[in-house]
Amino acid sequence: MIRINENFTKLKASYLFSDIAKRVAAFQQANPDKSVIRLGIGDVTEPLPGVCIEALHAGADELSRRETFKGYGPEQGYAFLREAVAKHDFQARGCAIDADEIFVSDGSKCDCGNIQEIFSGDLRLAIPDPVYPVYVDTNVMAGRTGANVDGRYQGITYLDSTPANGYVPAIPSTSADLIYLCFPNNPTGAVATKAQLAAWVDYAKRNKAIILFDAAYEAYIRDPQIPHSIFEIEGARDVAIEFRSFSKTAGFTGTRCAFIVIPKTLKAYDTTGQAHSVHALWNRRHSTKFNGVSYPVQKAAAAIYTELGRRQVREMTDYYLGNAKLIREAVTSLGLSCVGGENAPYIWVNTGGDSWAFFDRLLNDAQVVCTPGAGFGRCGEGHVRISAFNSRDNVIAALARIAHALKR
């Protein structure tokens, strides 16, 4: 008899964004004449930078000629992309990361989910709350947690991000083996200082643990004091893996390209205490289960590292940050407190009450979709996330509607 992986039955029945979609669909069915503005899901709206479009076309042309045709590429990614990443994203910031420590993939979502496969099934997890749901759900699927009791899975050390700690979780008093951190944060938009990250690196060293550092929103950092990479912290090469994505950096959510950085010095241990190279383990896993990102897409990704490409990416991220600034100002002027939006495309609004009720109020009274914080974890209750990913016109219209609805 074929049997299922029963860990899947522990997962909460429905996914946050499908709940939102259902409520929006019901509203639209009941109010077909009203237009809804979506500041909910974190998907980009602006077209790809011009350099990427040109590179995509050029890459496709190369595939059309026998002399330049390419079949399977290196599973880890083409050297031209890995070298550009190492040089511009890391070495230029003083991080000693080499091109062969970079693995190109088709998305950070897959990378965040897949990486835990190379670690033992019974390790102790520390995961922030609120959080990008993929970190938790993939570990539930892998059987690393117990049941969901009152909205929390047993066996996880939750790292609370609250107004009291400025939404940057404190180091836990208990030990953990695998720690997830995400800065700039989704959903809160909070960023971590060098000192805060250094404390995590120190904790990981003391516990022989590994930090999975998700820097998907790195391109939105504007404060020069804020680190862009965990590898800016001394000693991080021995305790951290970093995830980066072209999705929010350059509008690749539909184009798909990302990468993971695993230093060759990073070690994890077997039951006898013998150290193993995490880089070698991941290389084995990645090349066994993945056959590379398409050539034109890697060309397009590499194009953002040219001088023109860097300018275009800056313009795109500045555009969304301009939206974020408007959202912050509008929310603050309505008397609500918020964080994020300065070095991140998300604004985390403290509503002071039930987050789904606030979501319904914005949907029904302003026809604006946000994301209820409760969907990101228990500490998300009392908050909503407003995304800056939309056109300027839509953001301005949405803010006018919100102001009108909330002042009533």
Provide the total of helices (H) and of strands (E) in the chain, helices listed first.
12, 17
Structural Rg of the chain based on CA atoms: 21
* Whole-number Å distance between alpha carbons of 188 and 76: 32
- What the block records as the tokens of 400 is 């006018």
- DSSP three-state, residue 342: coil
Residue 219 backbone dihedrals phi, psi, to 5 degrees: -70, -10
* Residue closer to ligand PLP (CB basis): 198 or 258: 258
Find the shortest distance in angstroms from Cβ 216 to ligand PLP: 4
Among 26-34, 88-96, 103-111, 381-389, the segment contacting ligand PLP (CB under 6 A) = 103-111
Find the shortest distance in angstroms from Cβ 387 to ligand PLP: 10
* Residue closer to ligand PLP (CB basis): 320 or 330: 320
* # chain residues binding ligand PLP, by CB under 6 A: 14
Find the shortest distance in angstroms from Cβ 214 to ligand PLP: 5
**Residues of span 141-160 touching ligand PLP by CB under 6 A:** none
- DSSP three-state, residue 286: helix
Torsion of the alpha carbons at 31, 33, 34 and 35, rounded to the nearest 10:
130
Find the shortest distance in angstroms from Cβ 135 to ligand PLP: 9
Residue with tokens 């420590």: 101
Contact 144, 121 (CB under 8 A): yes
* Whole-number Å distance between alpha carbons of 98 and 96: 7
DSSP string, 67-121: TT---S--TT--HHHHHHHIIIIIGGGT----GGGEEEES-HHHHHHHGGGGS-T
Find the shortest distance in angstroms from Cβ 182 to ligand PLP: 5
Eight-class DSSP state of 23? H
Does residue number 108 form part of the binding site for ligand PLP (CB under 6 A)?
yes
Find the shortest distance in angstroms from Cβ 167 to ligand PLP: 14
Vertex 403: Cα angle to 402 and 407 (nearest 5): 115
Find the shortest distance in angstroms from Cβ 290 to ligand PLP: 14
Does residue number 214 form part of the binding site for ligand PLP (CB under 6 A)?
yes
- DSSP three-state, residue 281: helix
* Whole-number Å distance between alpha carbons of 337 and 330: 11
* Whole-number Å distance between alpha carbons of 279 and 265: 8
Does residue number 245 form part of the binding site for ligand PLP (CB under 6 A)?
yes
* Residue closer to ligand PLP (CB basis): 226 or 366: 226
Eight-class DSSP state of 386? E
Pick from 253, 283, 350, 394: which binds ligand PLP (CB under 6 A)? Answer: 253
* Residue closer to ligand PLP (CB basis): 140 or 330: 140
Q: Residues 37-66 vs ligand PLP: string with x where CB under 6 A?
A: -----x------------------------
Q: How many CA atoms lie within 13 A of 200 on its CB side?
A: 32
* Residue closer to ligand PLP (CB basis): 182 or 384: 182
Pick from 81, 216, 262, 331: which binds ligand PLP (CB under 6 A)? Answer: 216
* Residue closer to ligand PLP (CB basis): 27 or 319: 319
* Whole-number Å distance between alpha carbons of 97 and 3: 44
Pick from 38, 82, 109, 383: which binds ligand PLP (CB under 6 A)? Answer: 109
Among 49-57, 147-155, 245-253, 368-376, the segment contacting ligand PLP (CB under 6 A) = 245-253
Q: Cα–Cα distances in Å, from 186 out to 20, 77, 127, 128?
A: 17, 27, 13, 11
* Residue closer to ligand PLP (CB basis): 160 or 354: 160
**Residues of span 171-200 touching ligand PLP by CB under 6 A:** 182, 186
Q: Residues 313-352 vs ligand PLP: string with x where CB under 6 A?
A: ----------------------------------------
CB closest to ligand PLP, residue no? 107
Does residue number 247 form part of the binding site for ligand PLP (CB under 6 A)?
yes
* Binding residues vs ligand PLP (CB under 6 A): 42, 107-109, 112, 132, 182, 186, 214, 216, 245, 247, 253, 258
